[in-house]
A and B are shown apart, each in its own frame.
Chain A
Amino acid sequence: MRPLTSWVLRNLQAAVGTLGELWRAPLTSLMSLLVIAIALSLPSGLLALLDNLERLGARWEGPASLSLYLKLKTTAEEARDLAGRLEADPAVAGVESLSPDQGLAELRAIPGFDAALELLDSNPLPRVLVVRPGPGRHSDAELERLRAFLAALPEVDQVRLDLQWVRRLQRLMALARRAVWLLAGLLGLGVLLIMGNTIRLEILNRRAEIEVCKLVGASDAFVRRPFLYRGLWLGSLGGALAWALVGGGLWWLQGPALRLAELYQSGFRLHPPGLTAGLGLLAGGGLLGWLGAWLAVGRHLGEIEPD
């Protein structure tokens, strides 16, 4: 048999054999799996929630726009003229003009405002131009430059960038995301230590077997292999279970979320973590499991020698 073929075969044997051992001790295996799954599902659940919030933010954001409140003395003609000049500017994608009457009509549509507006003898609202920035002009710096340019126009009284609160939300979420990654790092370290300890106990449990194996000429690699595969299996299966837990948790939150979204006439629904996230958890859990096992094996296997 070629060395590579036999190496693959031996690894396959260890992998399948270890899986069989886990299967034959279901309760112990399940306990280890759950500990790992819970530790992994906490940060990944929070990340999934953040993803959903970001999705929600993106729905509200739409294309950015700036509202220009023109000075009160500006006439309809001057406003049209300004709109025409702005539309010719490459920094601007489009301009929408709102007359004071249109503005008043919009306010009237809001329940409760109707009676208050009756008290006014004249329309106090200014003309408004809603400016949409041109393509590629949505960055903070570009928007700020556009805002400054528009504010300097003689006809303009005030400029409002409509997206400030969305940006605030985005910054807040960036902060939360970093905090979640920090948590993920700590819990990942926790998984590593849990796995190290699980494998350490397993090594001690099988001390006699390890001694006899070494006695009859087992290489270090042979003795090490089942423990490494045990770590790999527990880690990756724990990751898969974490994925299922997060998916199940979001599914459970779906009902209340839908009813909340209904109040805002929004068709928003929670998205469960996708296949990529699932594979990431599987691979990440597997890697942590393998590493934890490696640490335990490196520390404890050498101590066991036949005498």
Chain B
Amino acid sequence: MIVFERVLKRYPGGRCGLDGVSFRLAAGEMAFLTGHSGAGKSTLLKLVGLLERPSRGQVRVLGRNLGRLPARQVHRHRREVGMVFQDHRLLMDRTLFDNVALPLVVTGTPHREITRRVRAALDQVGLRGRERALPSTLSGGEQQRVGIARAVVNRPPVLLADEPTGNLDPELSREIMALFERFNQVGVTLLVASHDLDLVKRLGHRVLTLREGVLVQDTGPR
């Protein structure tokens, strides 16, 4: 599902994001990505979501060689990879409904289908009936859940999350992680970056550890 082969990512100016990273993630697998900030976690996720391209080596996701994917097909790839961010990147002047509906709107989904699926997604993250609310009226944890609903509303086979619990207290963090585990149970492949080592260890999934762009540890699930 996700394959990295000796991937090198160098940014303009010579800064190295990733340095020779290789690993495989099978379909339906769930893994955490840990390391200090600046270790390359975000870079790795951006390569999977095609927000960046590798400088060298191969990134294959869903059978696509992302280094060679023509620019006009990038958007098709992004439709199949849901992304959740620490700052959730919601449109603050749009209702929850409009925010969550966005991935369906851009694919030209019929209106009725959009309504049904947005309701279902908000229901899954525990925000049923809040469609008309604006994100600014929500707590941080709730905003994060809206971001998750948006990432899963078009049922992507791959879900990425970059520090999804970074701003949340331990209890909310556990809730969010439980949500991810539920998606994983229905077959979604998940890659979650987090520096919250305690939480990661307790959940007992596969853990990839990065240090200065190098994959230094790959511990299997308990």
User: Which chain A residues have a beta carbon within 8 Å of chain B's beta carbons?
Assistant: 1, 6, 9-10, 208-209, 211-220, 222, 305-307
Contact = CB atoms under 8 A, between A and B. Distances in A.
Contacts of A216: 78-79, 102-103, 106, 150
Q: Is the interface of A mostly helix, strand, loop or mixed?
A: helix
Given A215-B89, A216-B103, A216-B150, A6 B108 contact: yes
A213 B102 contact: yes
Contacts of B89: 208, 211-212, 215
Nearest to A217: B79
A12 to B, nearest CB: 11
Interface residues of B, number: 21
Contacts of A219: 72, 75, 106
Contacts of A6: 108
Given A6-B108, A9-B108, A215-B78, A220 B103 contact: no
Contacts of B72: 219-220
B202 interface: no
Contact of A213 (B51, B80, B106): B106
Interface string B75-104: 111111001000001110000000000110
A215 B91 CA distance: 12
Contact of A215 (B76, B80, B83): B83
Contacts of B76: 217
Contacts of B77: 217
A218 B80 CA distance: 12
A306 B46 CA distance: 10
Contacts of B150: 216
Contacts of A1: 110
B9 to A, nearest CB: 13
A232 to B, nearest CB: 20
